[in-house]
Amino acid sequence: MKTRIRELLHQVPFCPFTIHMADGRSYRIEHPDFVLASAADTPQVVLEQLDGSTHRLSVLLMTSIEEDALPV
């Protein structure tokens, strides 16, 4: 899952996507600058929201990634 997130963050052109968690929460990724998904073995992704809050998401609790369609 983390590898797929890293692929989406580097996709050109970038397309927003949503990460869905096991507890029902969802996190919309509007821009790659707000996400840290390092290549290290740490099973987490760090998100920064527009309001300045941060979230550390466990990759083990991610259930799906919903990708927007590529622009035409």
Give the domain CATH number at 30.
2.30.30.100
- Report pLDDT for 72: 60
Q: Domains in the chain: how many in total?
A: 1
How many angstroms separate the CA atoms of 40 and 28, rounded? 23
Radius of gyration of the chain (CA): 12
Is 57 a member of any domain? yes
Task: At 29, list the tokens.
Answer: 């990724």
Type of residue found at 61: L
Residue 9's domain comprises 2-67
Is 72 a member of any domain? no
Is 62 a member of any domain? yes
pLDDT tens for each residue of the chain, 72 residues long: 899 999 999 999 999 999 999 999 999 999 999 999 988 888 999 999 888 899 999 999 999 999 987 666
